């Protein structure tokens, strides 16, 4: 058992006598370069060549920078620039790296040596001295003795960081009911994403899919993405007989045209894939699948709420419009979603 081990409890360790004593480090194997000066000279030259190659690599990288100036619209120039600078840099690094390692392996001594360790634990004497200092400081300051100071200091130390937390209060506005409303209002036209062209009911043939945004969104200057992240809708027309509609929501669709939120109720990716023959909507992020013919119920995947439906109608000119906003929050579930 070694010295470091001796001073501590071995716990559940067994103490089995070793068959032989530790034989000590194996004898050093002599290399060619140790034996012959000729081999050592060869190694020296090889190392010099590697360092020389490194210089060549650096020159290639510099050449790559100047040889391929940026040409508007010319991707080949960019690609060559990147390729030659990268390869040149790689070569210059490899030259130094291989050179240094080869040097160490051939010419520097390769016999392993041993160095003693010391226990992490300080000596008893040092520990006693450290303890003395702590006691002295305690006595001099009266830290243990003067309870009033100590406790009030704890109080102060507990309170002083609180402003440092409060100061971040304006990182974001207080969440009002913004999560529960979108841009859709009674009469808002359904328009194509991203052009903003209104959609006529007659344009929507059976089986077709439209990616929809509310009218006005495409011209917005501010908060466009925030609104889009809530208001995006998928519009599909199916054979009305294929639709299993909730009688209470029967007038939310128009001749088999239904509009559902495109924001996945799992964690919010756009549910952008429609499978025509099954009427399934698929979210590419974690494969939640919603059955469009069945109120967009979840049929597969980690989402747990159906996609909210946007009640739609047709205006006097034949354009599709929203009857109202969504009647429930879109997107991922959260704590007070039902409030």
Partner 1 sequence: MTSTTETSATDAKPGFAGGAANYLDERLSVSAVLKGFGRKVFPDHWSFMLGEVALYSFVILVLSGTFLTFFYQPSMAEVHYDGSYAPLKGAQMSIAYASSLDISFDIRGGLIMRQVHHWAALLFVAAAGLHMLRVFFTGAFRKPRELNWVVGFLLFLMGMGAGFTGYSLPDDLLSGNGLRIIDGMIKGIPVIGTAFSSGFFGGEFPGTEVVARLYSLHIMILPALIIVLIGVHLMMVIIHKHTHYSGPGRTDDNVVGYPLMPVYVAKAGGFFFLVFGVVAAIAATFTINPIWNYGPYDPSPVSAGTQPDWYIGWLDGALRLAPSGWDISIFDYVIPMGVMVPLIVSLLFLALVAAYPFIENWVTKDKREHHVLDRPRNAPTRTAIGAAGVTFYAVLWAGASTDLIATNFQMSLNQVLVAMQIMLLIGPGIAYFVTKRACIALQNKDREVVLHGRETGRVVRLPHGEYIEVHETVDKYELWKLIDYKDYQPVLARPDANGKIGLGNRLRSAVSKIYFEDRIAPVSKAEYELAHADHAPEAVTEKPKRKQKSINA
Q: Is 229 a residue that touches ligand FES (CB under 6 A)?
A: no
Q: Are strands 320-322 and 312-314 parallel, antiparallel or unpaired?
A: antiparallel
Q: How far out from the chain centre does Cα 313 lie?
A: 41
Considering beta carbons, is residue 237 or 266 the nearer one to ligand FES? 266
Name the phi and psi angles at 273, rounded to 5.
-110, 130
Q: Before 194, cis peptide (omega within 30)? A: yes
Q: Is 303 a residue that touches ligand FES (CB under 6 A)?
A: yes
What is the C-alpha to C-alpha distance for residues 245 and 257, in angstroms, rounded to an integer? 12
How many residues of this chain bind partner 1 (CB under 8 A)? 113
The answer to whether 188 touches 215, Cβ cutoff 8 Å, is yes
The answer to whether 320 touches 201, Cβ cutoff 8 Å, is yes
- Shortest distance (Å) from residue 273 CB to ligand FES: 11
Considering beta carbons, is residue 231 or 238 the nearer one to partner 1? 231
Kind and range of the H or E run holding 89? helix 75-106
The item of ligand FES, partner 1, none sharing an interface with residue 205, based on CB under 5 to 8 Å by kind, is none
The item of partner 1, ligand FES, none sharing an interface with residue 91, based on CB under 5 to 8 Å by kind, is partner 1
Touching partner 1, residues 282-321 (CB under 8 A): 284-288, 298, 300-304
Buried b (16+ CB within 10 A) or exposed e, 315-326: eeeebbbbbebb
Over the window 100 to 139, marking each residue x when it contacts ligand FES by CB under 6 A and - when it does not, the resulting string is ----------------------------------------
Over the window 12 to 31, marking each residue x when it contacts partner 1 by CB under 8 A and - when it does not, the resulting string is xxx-xxxxx-xxxxx-----
Q: Which of 8, 159, 160, 164 binds partner 1 (CB under 8 A)?
A: 8
The item of ligand FES, partner 1, none sharing an interface with residue 247, based on CB under 5 to 8 Å by kind, is none
Touching partner 1, residues 156-185 (CB under 8 A): 168, 171-175, 178-179
The answer to whether 328 touches 184, Cβ cutoff 8 Å, is no
DSSP-derived 3-state class of residue 214: strand
CA dihedral 151, 156, 159, 161 (to 10 degrees): -130
- Shortest distance (Å) from residue 114 CB to partner 1: 5
Over the window 31 to 70, marking each residue x when it contacts partner 1 by CB under 8 A and - when it does not, the resulting string is ----------------------------------x--xxx
State both tokens at 244.
């299993």
Name the phi and psi angles at 154, rounded to 5.
-55, -45
Touching ligand FES, residues 274-293 (CB under 6 A): 283, 285-286, 288
Residues that bind ligand FES (CB under 6 A): 264, 266-269, 283, 285-286, 288, 301-303
């Amino acid at each position: 058992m070694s010295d470091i081990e001796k001073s501590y409890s071995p716990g559940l360790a067994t103490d089995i006598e070793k068959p032989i004593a530790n034989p000590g480090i194996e004898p050093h194997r002599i290399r060619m370069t140790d034996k012959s000066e000729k081999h050592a000279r060869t190694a020296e030259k090889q190392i010099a060549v590697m360092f020389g190659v490194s210089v060549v690599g650096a020159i290639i990288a510099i050449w790559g920078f100047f040889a391929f100036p940026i040409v508007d619209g010319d991707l080949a120039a960019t690609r060559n620039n990147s390729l030659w600078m990268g390869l040149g840099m790689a070569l210059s690094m490899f030259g130094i790296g291989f050179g240094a390692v080869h040097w160490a392996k051939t010419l520097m001594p390769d016999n392993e040596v041993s160095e003693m360790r010391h226990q992490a634990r300080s000596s008893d004497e040092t520990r006693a001295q450290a303890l003395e200092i702590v006691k002295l400081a305690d006595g001099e300051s009266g830290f243990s003795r003067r309870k009033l100071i100590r406790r009030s200091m704890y109080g102060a130390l507990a309170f002083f960081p609180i402003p440092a937390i409060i100061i971040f209060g304006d990182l974001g506005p207080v969440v009002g009911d913004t999560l529960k409303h979108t841009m859709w209002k009674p009469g808002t036209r359904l328009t194509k994403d991203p052009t903003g062209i209104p959609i006529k009911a007659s344009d929507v043939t059976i089986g077709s899919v439209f990616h929809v945004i509310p009218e006005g969104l495409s011209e917005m200057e501010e908060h466009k993405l925030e609104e889009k992240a809530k208001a995006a809708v998928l519009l599909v027309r199916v054979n009305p007989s294929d639709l299993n509609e909730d009688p209470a929501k029967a007038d939310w669709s128009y001749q088999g045209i239904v509009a559902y939120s495109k924001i996945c109720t799992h964690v919010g990716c756009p549910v952008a894939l429609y499978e025509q023959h099954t009427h399934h909507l698929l979210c590419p992020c974690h494969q939640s699948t919603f059955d469009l013919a069945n109120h967009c119920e979840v049929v597969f995947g980690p989402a747990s709420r159906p996609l909210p439906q946007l009640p739609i109608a047709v205006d006097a000119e034949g354009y599709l419009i929203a009857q109202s906003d969504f009647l429930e929050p879109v997107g991922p579930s959260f704590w007070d979603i039902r409030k």
